[in-house]
Amino acid sequence: MDYISIIFGQVGGTYAFFICSNSFFHKKDFSNKRKMYDKIFHVINGPIFNNRVIFTCFFLKLNNQLVSEKISIFGYLFTTVIFMCAPHF
């Protein structure tokens, strides 16, 4: 079974979401929250979510630009740990 994780939030003045599975990691920015939610909804209903278990889904609000640049790494590490543990859940 494949797992997929979504982390979304506000990064400085930009809204962004990250999706991460055990085979890819993607990031997408948006200029407003509505657009981001629309896209998340769009993607969750789309083919890349087929047959995958969604694991995490939460909102991060990060104003510090320095931290925001690290969010990808954070997201990746977080989901990697989740996936490693996933079979045991």
Partner 1 sequence: MAAFDRIKSGIPGLDKALDNIRLGDNVVWNVTNLNEFSYFVNPYVKQAKEDNRNLIYIRFANHPPLIEMTEEDFRLLEMEQNNPDTEFSMIERDGIKIYYVDPYKQFETFTLEVHRIIEKEGFDAFYVFDCLSDLQAVWSTDLMMGNFFKVTCPFLFQLDTVAFFPILRGRHSYDAIAKIRETTQLFLNVYSNSPEEVYVTPLKVWNRYSQTMFLGHKFNPITGFVKVLQDGQEVSKYYKTINSDKYQNEQTLDSWERYMLQLRREYGEGRNIDEECDKISELMMTKDEKMLSKIRQYFTFEDYITIYDRRVGSGLVGGKTCGMLLARKIIEKDRPDIYGNFEPDDSFYIGSDLFYTYIVSNDLWDLRVNQRTEEGYYKYGKELEEALKKGTFSDQIKKEFIRILDYFGQNPIIVRSSSFLEDGYGNAFAGKYESVFCVNRGTLEERLAAFEEAVKVVYSSTMNVSALEYRKLNGLDDADEQMALLVQRVSGSYYDDYFFPTAAGVGFSYSPYSPLPDMDNSKGMLRLVMGLGTKAVDRTKKDYPRIINLDKPELTMMKDIKEKHRYSQHYLDVIDLKNISLHDISIDEGLDIIPKYAKKVLIEHDRDAERLFRERGQRREIVFVNCEGIVKNHEFIDEMKEILNTLETAYDYPVDIEYTVNFGEDNSFNINLLQCRPLQVSTNNEDIEMPEDKNVFFHIKESSMGMSRKNKIDAICYVDPHKYYEYPYAQKSSLSRVISEVNAYCRNNDKTAMLIVPGRIGTSSPELGIPVVFADISHFSAILEEAYSEVGYMPELSFGSHMFQDLVEAEIYYGALFENEKKIEFNRDMMFEYPNILKDINPNLSEDIYSMVQVIDFDDNEAEFYHDMNKDETMCIFK
Contact positions vs partner 1 (CB under 8 A): 1, 23-24, 26-31, 35, 38-39, 42-43, 46-48, 50-51
Please state, in angstroms and as integers, the Cα–Cα distance from residue 35 to each residue in 4, 70, 72, 77, following that order.
21, 23, 20, 26
Nearer CB in complex with partner 1: 23/64? 23
Separation of alpha carbons 85 and 78, rounded Å: 11
Cβ of residue 42: shortest distance to partner 1, in angstroms?
A: 6
Of the pair 14, 64, the CB lying nearest partner 1 is at 14
